[in-house]
Amino acid sequence: MPLGIKPTVDFAFKKIFGSPGNLAALIGLLNAILQLREPIEHVEILNPFNYKEFAEDKQIVLDVRARDQTGRWLNIEMQVNVFGKSRFSRPYRRRSGLPSGRRIG
């Protein structure tokens, strides 16, 4: 990183992987993480806002939302483990049924 900008910082991540001009970077990231039988060849960047349907709902803003060539929606969030232990540690995943993610970098 010659400029000293970390790609894990929210703004930088969104700029790198959420810009229509950087689709190749997003496709490469998704293929490296997901390792699907049929690799992603095309994505369309979508609106990252998930608007509330009801007054009591929370509005959600994703880092990147995209759709691939099969029509599959991809909700992409960068999560950084700051304190040495992630909220999604092994015991939490076991209790909640969440799949294990992969650490990048």
- Over residues 75-84, the pLDDT tens digits come to 888 887 766 5
Please, what is the average pLDDT of the chain?
76
State yes or no: pLDDT of 24 exceeds 90: yes
State yes or no: pLDDT of 4 exceeds 60: yes
Q: Report the SS3 class of residue 21.
A: helix
Q: What mean pLDDT is predicted for residues 61-76?
A: 87
Among 23-27, 46-50, 95-99, the range scoring the smallest mean pLDDT is 95-99
Of 39, 23, 105, whose CA–CA distance to 72 is shortest?
39
Rounded to a whole number of angstroms, the distance between the first and last alpha carbons of the chain is: 13
The predicted structure's pLDDT at residue 25: 92
